[in-house]
């Protein structure tokens, strides 16, 4: 697939003012560049001790009225901050150098943060400056090729299909092996609910010692997303966008019409009734150049004690197949307020994601492959050409008249509060209310290959999912001489409610209504109308202790206990422990003189994490389902029988992982990297297997069967 990219980026910032108007304003201009001479947009130029400043434009240029100021401060994320003397100059050009991989860089680790030097588990952190640039349609695209052990694949060219993410391989036979997603401390979120433009950094918890704090849902690793927030005393408007084009470069090599006729002539093939005189490239008829566009706009700002950021994003994608397209709208607002002399920190986030998309009908690829090139798309009289030979039909007519439409929405509100009760001791609460909705409609036209056997087929389904979350935490941090101690304790309660309904019908007198008038169908069968609902709850207690001695010996211990309503009566609760240690060798006296060595750390860890996403609610219970009818007292009644065996011993899949690694950084971080070894085993795998009847009442059951 060839991607032709037009990328536009605009960054605008209004200047700041401290209210002081000098009697004779003095202006300073200049250009900020990197060590390679490239201009750097977005550098903050500020008069120290004031809020007067500006930001460099796309060409790295700036202009600022400085009054009687004698110094200017230049700062940018990932670059060394510089303070420059004005010394009477009106033109000041500055060259900024990359900052070393800051060992004091704050990294999200789950229910808190640590500096990079304090981390003893396997954690990768990717900040905005290191994200993939260009065509980034979702958060996953920012990470491709950035994290060792993280595999991201796109199974097809269908723009509506989610990408598959695997972190250190597969962890389940039947359940999800996708990493657990946490956005701004809210667990169990979707990456589609945040636009790439809104993301500040992404942390990936790779080993069980780091991920076990999330217990029952972290067997496949954890991805922590931190979004952008408003900055104090700064107002900013940002726009980001691109337009991209997609084409298919590898299509099946099939005979053209002339080649088909030559072959038939040379081999004495009777083409009577087959050759319609056309010259049709069926793949070309159903394919196109897909156009994609993305536009993001954000507004942020703040005062002394509050800040805000609001953003909207639009993504429109056309697939390379004519029936394949998607539109996505994201809106997000975050407001932060500090009170009680900064002891209380309140953050509210509201977000919305809406997707309207049409998945491609893969059946049309089969038809395009099988239809011979001498068949036309339409007959001479303008009617559609068609054939009812095996596995043949007109894919262009299918695409024109058959409809597959999906509408999906996610809305949520999140309130977080942290109160510092006394120095080093903070109590926090995290509340979430989320609703997800989906509406799907399908109509197969009675004149198309897909719908003619049913004389038209319509289906309409919808579902709604509600999630409520309450988390409370206590955090204590104490630094004593050579010792640093950080203790976390927390409680989590989550409930989920899901309901769905659907109907389908056949044999429509007219195709006019599509899937919007089910009752006009005349062939409603048993099982064509359905509905259902389920709920599940997860209760958790968790804790973590981080200890550091002399900033070179580091120990982290965590423990989480989860109780899930999904599992059998005998195994609803499970405990997930972890321990890790690190030795910062470069802090030892025998390496103090090694100026070339920035960091050298040896890590080792072991942990156990779980997976509850492999099963739906009620899979441990004996269930009944409708099965036939019985006759009694002159009437027929619906009959019910066992449709699922009970399994009170159904329990968690558990993944144990040992991890050892070395982190190194040399020559002012010009050379840096990580070497790791891990051994991962998943036990008590969930699998549905056949059982004898009797003694069981149903021929299969879900159970824990093995390891991998």
The answer to whether 620 and 648 have CB atoms below 8 angstroms apart is yes
Q: How far is it, in rounded angstroms, from Cα 548 to Cα 178?
A: 33
Quick one: average pLDDT of 218-242? 89
**pLDDT of 100:** 53
**DSSP readout, 532-551?**
EEEEEEEEEEEEEEEEEETT
Give the number of residues written for the chain: 708
Q: What is the mean pLDDT of residues 122-150?
A: 88
Measured between its terminal Cα atoms, the distance across the chain in Å is 36
Mean pLDDT for 192-208 is 91
User: For 627-645, how does the pLDDT look when each residue is reduced to its tens digit (9 = 90+)?
Assistant: 888 889 989 998 999 999 9
pLDDT at 333: 97
More confident residue, 31 or 20: 31
Q: Which of 436, 427, 419, 449 is nearest to 496 (CA)?
A: 436
Q: Tell me, what's the pLDDT at 20?
A: 42
Q: Is the pLDDT reported for residue 623 higher than 60?
A: yes
What distance in Å separates the CA atoms of residue 615 and residue 618, rounded to the nearest whole number?
9
What confidence score (pLDDT) does residue 50 get? Answer: 79
Q: For residue 261, name the pLDDT band (cuts at 50, 70, 90).
A: very high
Q: What is the pLDDT of residue 263?
A: 94
pLDDT of residue 26: 80
pLDDT for 486: 95
Mean pLDDT is highest, among 176-185, 558-567, 699-708, for: 558-567
Burial class (CB in 10 A: 0-12, 13-18, 19+), 471: buried
- Among positive and negative, which fits the CA dihedral 113, 118, 120, 121? positive
Q: What is the pLDDT of residues 691-703, one digit of tens each?
A: 999 899 999 998 9
Three-state SS string across 306-318, please?
A: EEEEEEEEEEEEE
* Segment among 18-22, 203-207, 362-366, 461-465 with least mean pLDDT: 18-22
| Dist CA 153 CA 55 (whole Å) | 38
CATH topology of domain 10-96: Protocatechuate 3,4-Dioxygenase, subunit A (2.60.130)
Is pLDDT of 14 > 60? Answer: no
Per-residue pLDDT band for 545 (boundaries 50, 70, 90) equals very high
pLDDT score at 104: 58
Distance CA 350, CA 189 (A): 14
User: C-alpha dihedral over 156, 159, 161, 162, to 10 degrees?
Assistant: 110
**69-76 mean pLDDT:** 89
What is residue 273's predicted lDDT score, i.e. its pLDDT? 84
Q: What is the mean pLDDT of residues 338-360?
A: 96
If you average pLDDT over residues 55-78, what whole number do you get? 88
Categorize the per-residue pLDDT at 598 as very low, low, confident or very high, splitting at 50, 70 and 90.
confident
Give me the pLDDT at residue 172, please: 84
pLDDT value at position 211? Answer: 85
What would the mean pLDDT of 87-110 be, rounded to a whole number?
A: 78
Question: How confident is the model over 343-371, as a mean pLDDT?
Answer: 94
SS3 of residue 262 by DSSP: helix
Tell me if 349 sits within 8 A of 332, measured CB to CB: yes
pLDDT score of 417 more than 90: yes
CA 315 vs CA 9, 155, 250, 295, 296: distances in Å: 16, 20, 26, 7, 9
Highest mean pLDDT among 276-290, 578-592, 609-623 belongs to 276-290
Task: Please tell me the distance from the alpha carbon of residue 136 to that of residue 197, in angstroms, as a whole number.
Answer: 9
Write down the domain spans for the chain.
10-96, 106-227
CA distance 545 to 249: 54
Q: What is the mean pLDDT of residues 535-563?
A: 95
Quote the CA–CA distance of 538 and 558 in Å, as a whole number: 19
Residue 2's pLDDT band (boundaries 50, 70, 90)? very low
The per-residue pLDDT for 116 is 79
The tokens for 100 are: 């070393």
Report yes or no: 204 and 167 within 8 Å, Cβ to Cβ.
yes
Judged against a pLDDT cut of 50, whether residue 19 lies above it is answered with no
pLDDT tens for 442-495 read 999 999 998 999 999 999 999 999 999 999 999 999 998 899 999 999 999 999
Q: Are 60 and 31 in contact (CB under 8 A)?
A: yes
Looking at residue 58, its pLDDT comes to 86
Query: Does position 106 have pLDDT exceeding 90, yes or no?
Result: no
pLDDT grade for 16, boundaries at 50, 70 and 90: very low
With a pLDDT cut of 90, the percent of the chain lying above it is 60
> Helix or strand or coil: residue 260?
helix
Residue 4's alpha-carbon distances to 7, 111, 249, 363, 473, in angstroms, are 10, 41, 13, 29, 48
The pLDDT of 315-333, averaged and rounded, is 95
Structure-token match 């709208």, residue found: 329
Please tell me the predicted confidence (pLDDT) of residue 91.
93
The mean pLDDT value of the chain amounts to 89
Q: pLDDT value at position 4? A: 33
pLDDT of residue 355: 97
Q: 106 - beta bridge partners?
A: 115
pLDDT above 50 for 5: no
Statement: residue 1 has pLDDT above 80: no
Lowest-confidence segment of 178-192, 531-545, 551-565 by average pLDDT: 178-192
In terms of CATH, what superfamily is 106-227?
TonB-dependent receptor, plug domain (2.170.130.10)
pLDDT at 25 over 60: no
What mean pLDDT is predicted for residues 652-672?
88
């Amino acid at each position: 697939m060839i991607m032709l990219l037009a990328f536009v980026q605009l960054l605008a910032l209004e200047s700041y003012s401290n209210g002081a108007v000098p009697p004779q304003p003095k202006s300073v201009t200049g250009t900020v560049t990197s060590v390679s001479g490239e201009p750097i947009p977005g550098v903050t130029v500020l008069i120290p001790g004031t809020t007067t400043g500006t930001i460099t434009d796309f060409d790295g240029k700036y202009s600022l009225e400085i009054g009687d100021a004698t110094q200017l401060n230049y700062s940018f994320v990932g670059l060394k901050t510089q303070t420059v003397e004005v010394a009477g100059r009106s033109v000041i050009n500055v060259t900024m150098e990359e900052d070393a991989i800051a060992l004091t860089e704050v990294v999200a680790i789950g229910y808190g943060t640590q500096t990079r030097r304090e981390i003893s588990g396997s954690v990768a952190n990717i900040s905005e400056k290191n994200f993939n640039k260009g065509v980034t349609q979702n958060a996953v695209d920012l990470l491709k090729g950035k994290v060792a052990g993280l595999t991201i694949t796109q199974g097809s060219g269908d723009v509506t299909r989610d990408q598959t993410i695997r972190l250190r391989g597969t962890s389940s036979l039947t359940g999800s092996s996708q990493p657990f997603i946490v956005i701004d401390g809210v667990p169990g979120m979707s990456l589609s609910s945040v636009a790439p433009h809104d993301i500040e950094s992404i942390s990936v918890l790779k080993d069980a010692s780091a991920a076990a704090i999330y217990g029952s849902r972290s067997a496949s690793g954890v991805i922590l997303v931190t979004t952008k927030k408003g900055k104090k005393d700064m107002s900013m408007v940002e726009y980001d966008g691109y337009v991209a084009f997609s084409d298919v470069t590898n299509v099946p090599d099939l005979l053209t019409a002339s080649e088909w006729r030559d072959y038939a002539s040379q081999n004495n093939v009777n083409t009577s009734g087959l050759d319609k005189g056309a010259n049709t490239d069926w793949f070309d008829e159903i394919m196109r150049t897909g156009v994609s566009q993305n536009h993001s706009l954000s507004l942020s700002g703040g005062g002394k004690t509050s800040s805000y950021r609001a953003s909207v994003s639009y993504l429109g994608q056309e697939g390379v197949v004519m029936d394949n397209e998607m539109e996505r709208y994201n809106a997000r607002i975050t407001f932060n307020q500090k009170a009680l002399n900064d002891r209380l920190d309140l953050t509210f986030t509201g977000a919305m994601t809406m997707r309207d998309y049409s998945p491609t009908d893969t059946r049309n690829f089969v038809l395009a492959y099988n239809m011979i090139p001498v068949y036309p798309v339409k007959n001479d009289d303008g009617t559609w050409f068609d054939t009812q030979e095996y596995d043949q039909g007109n894919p262009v007519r299918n695409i024109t008249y058959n409809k597959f439409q999906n509408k999906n929405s996610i809305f949520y509100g999140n309130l977080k509060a942290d109160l510092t009760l006394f120095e080093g001791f903070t109590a926090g609460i995290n509340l979430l209310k989320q609703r997800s909705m989906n509406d799907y409609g399908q109509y197969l036209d009675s004149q198309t290959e897909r719908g003619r056997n049913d004389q038209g087929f319509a289906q309409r389904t919808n579902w709604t999912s509600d999630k409520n979350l309450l988390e409370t935490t206590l955090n204590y941090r104490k630094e004593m001489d050579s010792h640093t101690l950080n203790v976390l304790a927390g409680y989590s309660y989550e409930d989920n409610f899901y309901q769905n309904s659907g109907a389908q019908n056949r044999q429509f007198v007219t195709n006019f209504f599509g899937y919007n008038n089910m009752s006009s169908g005349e062939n409603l069968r048993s099982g064509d109308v359905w509905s259902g609902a389920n709920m599940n709850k997860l209760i958790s207690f968790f804790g973590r202790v981080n200890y550091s001695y002399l900033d070179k010996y580091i120990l982290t211990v965590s423990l989480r206990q989860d109780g899930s309503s999904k599992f059998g009566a005998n195994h609803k609760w499970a405990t997930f422990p972890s321990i890790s240690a690190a030795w910062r060798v470069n802090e030892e006296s025998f390496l103090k003189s090694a100026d070339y060595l920035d960091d050298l750390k040896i890590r080792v860890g072991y942990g156990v994490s779980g997976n509850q996403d492999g099963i739906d609610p009620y899979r441990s219970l004996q269930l009944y389902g409708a099965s036939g009818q019985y006759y009694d007292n002159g009437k027929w009644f619906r009959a019910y029988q066992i449709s699922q065996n009970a399994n009170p011993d159904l329990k968690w899949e558990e993944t144990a992982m040992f991890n050892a690694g070395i982190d190194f950084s040399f020559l002012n971080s010009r050379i840096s990297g990580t070497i790791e070894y891990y051994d991962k085993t998943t036990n008590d795998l969930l699998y549905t297997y056949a059982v004898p009847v009797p003694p069981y009442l149903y021929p299969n059951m879900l159970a824990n069967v093995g390891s991998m």
